[in-house]
Amino acid sequence: MEVKTSLLDNMIGVGDMVLLEPLSEDSFIENLRNRFDHNEIYTYIGSVVISMNPYRALPIYTPDKVEEYRNRNFYELSPHIYALADEAYRSLRDQDKDQCILITGESGAGKTEASKLVMSYVAAVCGKGQEVNKVKEQLLQSNPVLEAFGNAKTVRNDNSSRFGKYMDIEFDFKGDPLGGVISNYLLEKSRVVKQPRGERNFHVFYQLLSGASEDTLRKLKLDRDFSKYNYLSLDSAAVNGLDDAANFRTVKNAMQIVGFMEDEVQSVLELVAAVLKLGNIEFKPESRCNGTDESRVKDKNDLKEMCELLGIEQSVLERAFSYRTVEAKQEKVSTTLNVAQAYYARDALAKNLYSRLFSWLVTRINESIKAQTKARHKVMGVLDIYGFEIFEDNSFEQFIINYCNEKLQQIFIELTLREEQEEYVREGIEWTNIEYFNNAIICDLIENHQNGILAMLDEECLRPGTVTDETFLDKLNTICAEHKHFESRHSKNSKFLTDHSLPHNCFRIQHYAGKVLYRAEGFVDKNNDLLYRDMSQAMYKAKHSLIKQLFPEGNPAKVNLKRPPTAGFQFKASVGTLMRNLQTKNPNYIRCIKPNDKKASHIFTDTLVCHQVRYLGLMENVRVRRAGYAFRQAYEPCLERYKMLCKRTWPHWRGPAREGVEVLMADLQVPADDFSYGRSKIFIRNPRTLFSLEEKRRQCLQDLASLIQKIYRGWKCRSHFLLLKKSQIVVSAWYRRYAQQKKYQKVKSATTVVQSYTRGWQARKLLRELKYQKRCEEAVTTIAAFWHGTQVRRDYRKFFRANAGKKIYDFTIQRIMQKYFLSLKSTSPSLSPVDKSWPARPYRFLDGVHAELRKIFHHWRCKKYRSQFTEEKKAIYEEKLEASELFKDKKALYPSSVSQPFKGDYLEITKNPKYQKLNSSVDAKVLLADVVNKINRANGKGAARIFLLTKKGVVLADQKTGQVKASVPLPDLASVSVSTQSDGFFALKLKEGSASAIKGDFLLSSERLIEIITKLHLTGATAADSERLNIDISDEFLVQFNHDKVCVKFIQGGAKNGNGASCKRKNNRLLEVSVPTTA
């Protein structure tokens, strides 16, 4: 079941100021304070939202809150900015009404945050999809870019918007965003060159110097030290809670999301750097021969770097700082600039360069976020603009800002009254004229085309002759003297002559929000906003990609001698366009209030809040809303809320809701003058009537709650009594059962005892009878056994004397054998085949058995040892066994080879990249690869060769190059000859007539002779499928070299080089090998 809620439920203070009773300025402020102290920062004035800046994060903007306010009636929940945003979005989506949200308030009141919250809410509740999400992200990410270039730290706000912003967000028929258009108003460009004490320049300057990389700063010719730039104030360069470096990264990321290209971002940063460099240019006076003063640049380094950044010739810009050209028809007059004029020209260029860059940024963002389709769109506008400003020193900027707020107040009153009138007509209620203050007279004082202040200021700026702020003030005193909202000491009105609160160089205007004193100094210059034509032309000559776009008037081919429009004229035109735009849309208002000047939470300054309430016109707003009917509500929720006050409507009313409300109001005897019936709503004139209904409802709810409690308590007590009764019955039943069980147990126990005694007596009687019978039977058996034993012993005595010796001998032998075998089990040797130990025999007659058992045990453990071999290990042992059969006791080198494992491939020829080519030339598996020495018959010296043994033959290759020197198939081998000594010489003898025997036999030397001959012997037999290769072991054998046979003879003797054997040629027929004598 859905729970119906209302703005009036659990209300702290009064949620809607229209219902405030009594209505006064003090009660208004007190209600705001009461709600602010309870973290209720939003309050309504009808459909207007008052927002108090809490100066801290509150948990009221979560996704759950968004869902809570989504598609809910405006007055259904407690006041919140989400309620206004949802009402505007649903009106746009469902009723096809263009909307605008006007956010006003002074600096630091939270206007920018309010606009972000509205946009984030709309983004959260509208449709989803890749394209829609992209548009939403671009709209949201345009804020960080504009804040960096248009916001600054002021004494009132660390992130103060120094420009007015109006964004039109365009939606399709489904309510999904398609794009947007941003308009900016009156950037405070004077802040670029000068900031008040305790304030900063625009954020982007500090973000660039803090967050840019060293490489970027080097390209922009900048230094990270703020103190090196004249345009940056140092007393507030660092702001608590503001991370300029992180914000710079955020801005760059936002520019990429919005659609800026890398070269565009770089161009923008170059212009920002140029503004900083421009502020460091200083001038010195220089006297000319005609007696006039001329300005010259002191240090040209900053001028040079700035010109390099913008691509301007240094001499062109330097001349623009020293001379000014005035054109009139066909004449040109060039005049020199003194130091003061040069500084004015420099600052004017800096302000124009930055403000035009800002306008270009807005235009560029609009190109990215504009809707791509040309069909008609629904539009929601969000206006974030300065509030009314009253400072100690008010100048031209405050004047035009307050003029804009006068226009907004005018349209607010008009639209509010129009909305009221339309609702009355729509509901069929008679419209009565509402008395209110119409500020059209103040707007006319400022904007009148003939006698308005802006018109007179433009006239002063455009007329020839000497024009100063004093002449402008004199003109105002002459024309506006009789106006009741204009005050000046020098006006014709004599009542201000003695007003010492009004200085001579000032004038005062009585705005709707109060009187504001304006200092006339600077009005003319700021309205002129003059940039010398020489500066524009110098900028147009720049090679930078953006400068030509920013200064189109500098084009020499399009020289326009007409004076450019003044700042006041441009702003007046912009405000007029804005007002016409707002009048076509349904307005929604957010009034932002700053609770204190310390930017601290939980502090509420009455005087400051009262001041803002006055100049925001909130009391006037309440009076306008209360002039007719203070409260209105649809019949259905009204009947749902108050139906318990009448017996006829409670608990359910079956008829139409309006009839139910009529019955309800008649039963309550509410005076007919206090309310009226509309077509779909009931209108209540006085808040006292509403509060009376609320009080009766509260009392009735208390009575209903008491009734519900009474019925609940009665039901609870009856339920408890019935439960106790049921429990008592259950307990009684269980107790009776328990008592009967105990009684039955006692009877059963007594019966069992009697039965046991009876059975025991019977059993004992039977036992005695059985025992007597058993003793009789045992006595008979014993007598018979003794008798039979006597008879058997008498017959067996003769037989035992004849066979007793043989049986005793057999038994003794059997015991000895059993003991012998058991002792072998405990004393048997280890399972190692080389263990030759065996326990001694205990008796001589066991010699044969002892020897046979030893042989059987040895064969058994050898078989068990062999069963553990792998195929690879088995092959190795077979090779070792073959080597033993070939060389044991035949060659002295054999014992040293026993402990060395046969590895085979010592060169790792398949893995070594050095022998890759050699390996690929061998077409069979390599069984052995090693380095041997091939003996030269000429001198007996050896040459290193790679010896490869495969299944098909023997290959000899060069060790260094891997080139094959000889290849001998195994069938061509006749025999192998070795000596009996410990040398490593062996001869491969080839069969006569074979293809390999052309050059004769091979005499080789190797440390691994035993392994080579063994593998060769085994492989030769396998390859030839016949008898194995013949091995000739002799200390003297013949070797065939070409066509000659040479005898190789081995003798014992000392070696010349080390301990190895040496070969020496004795004659053409003899090679003598000296083998060292082994110890």
Q: Which positions are catalytic?
A: 107-108, 112, 157, 160-161, 387, 389
Count of CB atoms situated within 10 Å of the CB of 249: 13
Which residues have C-beta within 8 Å of that of residue 165, sequence separation ≥ 6? 115, 146, 150, 182, 183, 184, 185, 383, 384, 385
Strand order in the sheet with 1062-1067: 1036-1041, 1044-1052, 1070-1075, 1062-1067
User: CA 82, 87, 93, 94 torsion: positive or negative?
Assistant: positive
The pair of structure tokens assigned to 735 is 């107790």
Cα angle at 530 between 527 and 535, to 5 degrees?
160
CB 1033 within 8 A of CB 987: no
CB 382 within 8 A of CB 118: yes
The H or E element containing residue 160 is strand 160-161
CB 118 within 8 A of CB 111: no
DSSP per residue over 85-143, as a string? Answer: HHHHHHHHHHH---EEEEEE--TTSSHHHHHHHHHHHHHHHS--SHHHHHHHHHHHHHH
Count of CB atoms situated within 10 Å of the CB of 298: 12
Cα angle at 996 between 995 and 998, to 5 degrees?
80
Q: Which residues of 256-268 are buried (b: 16+ CB within 10 A; e: fewer)?
A: ebbebeeebeebb
Q: Which residues of 985-1003 are buried (b: 16+ CB within 10 A; e: fewer)?
A: bbbbbbeeeeebbeebbbb
DSSP per residue over 732-783, as a string? Answer: HHHHHHHHHHHHHHHHHHHHHHHHHHHHHHHHHHHHHHHHHHHHHHHHHHHH
How far apart are alpha carbons 322 and 339 in whole angstroms?
9
Report the DSSP beta bridge partners of residue 52: 593
CB 92 within 8 A of CB 378: yes
Instruction: Please provide residue 431's backbone torsions phi and psi, each rounded to the nearest 5 degrees.
Output: -90, 130
How far apart are alpha carbons 48 and 625 in whole angstroms?
10
- Helix, coil or strand: residue 202: strand
The pair of structure tokens assigned to 983 is 């040398």
How far apart are alpha carbons 748 and 156 in whole angstroms?
100
How far apart are alpha carbons 267 and 547 in whole angstroms?
9
Judging by DSSP bridges, how do beta strands 99-104 and 586-593 pair with one another?
Answer: parallel
Of 571, 1072, 211, which Cα lies nearest the Cα of 220? 211
CB 496 within 8 A of CB 487: yes
**Polymer length in residues for the chain:** 1079
Of 984, 944, 949, 986, which Cα lies nearest the Cα of 962? 944
